[in-house]
C-alpha cells in the first residue's frame, strides 16, 4: 500500500469513528427514550436494563453505518478540496478515480462486514432481546401490570388495578386481589381503594401497601358441606394493610433463558429462505380455507346450472312481480340478507388476506435488507465522495446538512415503499431495492460531475444562467449611485 493510500484511509477513519460513535449514541438514546418508561421502577437492576438496551441497540448498526459512510466521505473529500490537497493530487497526475479507489475498496470491505454482521450477529442479538423481554415480563410481574386487566402471572393470585400512576408507576387505585384456591380450601379476596408498590426486604416477595379496604375470607377448609353452607361471610375493614406475595418461583427463572426461537428476525439469509418456502405453503392452505366458503356460497347456483343439460330450457321458478306484497317483501328481504352476508364475509376475508400478505412481505423485506443495506454503503460513498470533491468544504457545516438531506430522502422512500408493500400494492423484493435503484443513478451522475470538475454548486453560474430572466422583469436602475 502506497503512502498516499495510507494517508487517504487514515484521513477517512478519523471522522468515521467519531461520526459512528455519535450516531450510534443518538440511535441508542432514541431506543432508551421509547423503552425506558416500560422498564424503570419495575424492580429491574441497572445491569439488566443496560444489557437489554444493548441487545436492542445492536440492530441500529445497519442504519448507522451507511449514514456514517456518507458523512465521512463528504467530510474527507471536502477537507481535501478545502486544503487544496485534491488540487495538488490532480496536478501531480493522480486522477480522482485513483484518489477514490483506496476508500472504495475500504468501504467495500465495510459493506461486506455489514452483511456478515446483519446476517449473523444482529439476528442473534434480536433473539436475546426478545427472550430477555419475555423473561423480564414473566419474572418481574410489576412490569406487566396493565390497568383494568387481571394479571395471573404471580403464582396463586389474580390481581387487577383500575389505575396505575406515579413517576415510577408505583401508585395504585382500585386494587382487587384474589387468592386462587380450590372450592374446598379457604377463600380470600382483598379490595382496596388505593395502594402502592414498596421495596420488600426479601427480593423474592412483591410488597403491596394497601389503604382503605376490606379483606373477605371464607374459612371452609376441612369442613363438611352442610357446615360450609352455614359458614357466615367474614370481612375485615382496614385503614392500611401490608401484603406480601411470594414470587420466588418466577424470580428464579433465568433472564437470558431462551424460550422464543421461532421468529424470522432470528434467522440468517439462508434460513429465511427456508422460512419463506414454508410460509408460502401455509399461505396457500390458509387462502384456500378463506376463499372456499365464499366460493361455495356464491357458486352453488352456477354449479347447479352447469349440471343441467344444455338442451333443457331453464325457466324462472316464479316471477317476483306476480307475488303478493307480503311474499314479495319476504323474498326481497331474504335476498338482501344473503347479499349482506356475502359482503360481510368478503370484508372479513379481505382483512385476513391482507394480514397474510403483510406477514409474508415483512419476511421478504427483512431478508432483502440484509443485502440491500450493504449496497447502500457503496452508493452513499459514491455520493459522499463526489459531493465532497465538488463543494470543497470540510468540517461539520454544509457537508452535514447535505448528508442529512440525502439520508432523509432515502429513509422516507424506504418507509413509503415498505408501507406500500405491507398493503400488497408493491412487490416486496422491488420495494426493498427501490431506494437503492433511485440513488444509484444519482450517485453515478454525481461521480461523473466530480470527474469532469463540474461547478455544480457554483452560485455565480446559476445567477448568470437566470440573469436574462431576472433582468427582463426588473426595472433598470440608472444613476443608482446618485440616488
Burial class (CB within 10 angstroms; exposed 0-12, middle 13-18, buried 19+) of 131? buried
Backbone angles phi, psi at 195, to 5 degrees: -175, -175
Which residues does 132 contact at the CB level (< 8 Å), separation at least 6? 48, 51, 52, 55, 255, 256
Residue 259 has a pLDDT of 55
C-alpha–C-alpha distance, residues 220 and 312, integer Å: 79
C-alpha–C-alpha distance, residues 16 and 423, integer Å: 38
C-alpha–C-alpha distance, residues 92 and 8, integer Å: 16
Residue that the C-alpha cell 307480503 belongs to: 326
C-alpha cell recorded at residue 105: 475498496
C-alpha–C-alpha distance, residues 179 and 155, integer Å: 9
Residue that the C-alpha cell 441497572 belongs to: 46
The DSSP annotation for 227-267 comes to: HHHHPPPEEEEEEEEEEEEE-HHHHTS-TT-------GGGS
C-alpha–C-alpha distance, residues 69 and 419, integer Å: 27
Residue that the C-alpha cell 396493565 belongs to: 146
Strands (E), 250-368: none
pTM score = 0.64
Residues β-bridged to residue 194: 173, 211
Condensed to tens digits (0 to 9), the pLDDT of residues 138-175 reads 555 445 577 887 776 677 788 888 888 877 677 889 98
Residue 357 has a pLDDT of 83
**Mean pLDDT in runs of 10 for the chain (483 residues)?**
84 89 85 67 68 82 90 87 83 85 92 91 84 63 67 76 80 86 77 85 78 85 69 81 76 52 78 85 75 62 52 60 74 79 74 81 89 92 87 70 85 90 86 91 88 66 64 61 49
Residue 254 has a pLDDT of 44
What length does the chain have? 483
Residue 436 has a pLDDT of 92
Q: What DSSP character marks residue 174?
A: E
Q: What is the mean pLDDT of the chain?
A: 78
Residue 458 has a pLDDT of 56
Backbone angles phi, psi at 310, to 5 degrees: -65, -25
Amino acid at each position: 500500500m502506497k503512502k498516499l493510500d495510507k494517508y487517504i484511509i487514515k484521513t477517512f477513519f478519523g471522522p468515521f469513528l467519531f461520526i459512528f460513535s455519535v450516531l450510534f449514541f443518538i440511535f441508542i438514546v432514541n431506543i432508551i427514550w421509547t423503552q425506558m418508561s416500560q422498564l424503570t421502577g419495575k424492580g429491574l437492576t441497572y445491569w439488566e436494563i443496560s444489557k437489554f438496551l444493548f441487545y436492542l441497540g445492536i440492530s441500529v448498526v445497519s442504519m448507522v453505518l451507511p449514514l456514517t459512510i456518507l458523512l465521512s466521505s463528504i467530510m474527507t473529500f471536502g477537507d481535501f478540496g478545502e486544503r487544496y490537497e485534491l488540487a495538488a493530487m490532480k496536478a501531480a497526475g493522480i486522477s480522482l478515480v485513483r484518489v477514490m479507489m483506496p476508500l472504495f475498496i475500504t468501504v467495500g470491505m465495510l459493506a461486506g462486514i455489514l452483511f456478515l454482521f446483519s446476517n449473523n450477529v444482529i439476528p442473534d442479538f434480536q433473539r436475546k432481546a426478545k427472550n430477555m423481554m419475555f423473561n423480564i415480563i414473566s419474572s418481574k410481574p410489576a412490569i406487566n401490570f396493565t390497568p383494568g386487566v387481571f394479571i395471573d402471572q404471580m403464582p396463586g393470585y389474580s390481581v387487577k388495578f383500575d389505575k396505575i400512576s406515579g413517576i415510577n408507576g408505583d401508585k395504585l387505585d382500585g386494587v382487587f386481589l384474589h387468592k386462587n384456591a380450590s372450592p374446598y380450601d379457604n377463600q380470600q379476596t382483598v379490595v382496596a381503594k388505593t395502594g402502592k408498590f414498596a421495596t420488600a426486604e426479601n427480593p423474592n416477595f412483591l410488597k403491596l401497601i394497601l389503604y382503605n379496604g376490606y379483606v373477605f375470607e371464607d374459612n371452609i377448609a376441612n369442613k363438611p358441606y352442610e357446615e360450609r353452607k352455614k359458614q357466615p361471610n367474614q370481612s375485615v375493614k382496614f385503614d392500611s394493610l401490608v401484603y406480601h406475595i411470594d414470587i420466588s418461583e418466577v424470580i428464579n427463572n433465568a433472564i437470558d433463558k431462551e424460550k422464543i426461537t421461532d421468529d424470522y428476525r432470528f434467522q440468517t439469509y439462508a434460513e429465511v429462505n427456508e422460512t419463506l418456502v414454508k410460509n408460502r405453503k401455509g399461505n396457500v392452505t390458509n387462502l384456500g380455507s378463506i376463499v372456499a366458503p365464499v366460493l361455495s356460497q356464491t357458486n352453488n347456483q352456477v354449479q347447479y346450472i352447469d349440471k343441467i343439460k344444455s338442451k333443457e330450457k331453464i325457466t324462472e321458478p316464479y316471477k317476483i312481480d306476480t307475488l303478493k306484497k307480503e311474499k314479495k317483501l319476504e323474498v326481497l328481504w331474504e335476498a338482501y340478507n344473503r347479499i349482506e352476508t356475502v359482503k360481510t364475509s368478503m370484508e372479513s376475508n379481505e382483512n385476513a388476506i391482507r394480514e397474510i400478505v403483510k406477514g409474508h412481505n415483512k419476511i421478504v423485506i427483512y431478508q432483502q435488507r440484509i443485502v440491500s443495506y450493504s449496497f447502500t454503503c457503496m452508493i452513499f460513498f459514491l455520493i459522499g465522495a463526489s459531493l465532497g470533491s465538488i463543494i470543497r468544504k470540510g468540517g461539520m457545516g454544509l457537508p452535514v446538512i447535505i448528508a442529512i438531506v440525502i439520508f432523509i430522502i432515502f429513509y422516507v422512500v424506504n418507509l413509503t415503499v415498505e408501507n406500500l408493500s405491507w398493503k400488497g400494492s408493491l412487490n416486496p423484493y422491488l420495494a426493498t431495492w427501490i431506494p437503492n435503484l433511485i440513488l444509484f443513478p444519482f450517485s453515478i451522475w454525481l461521480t461523473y460531475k466530480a470527474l469532469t470538475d463540474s461547478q455544480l454548486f457554483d452560485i455565480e453560474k446559476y445567477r448568470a444562467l437566470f440573469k436574462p430572466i431576472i433582468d427582463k422583469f426588473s426595472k433598470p436602475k440608472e444613476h443608482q449611485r446618485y440616488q
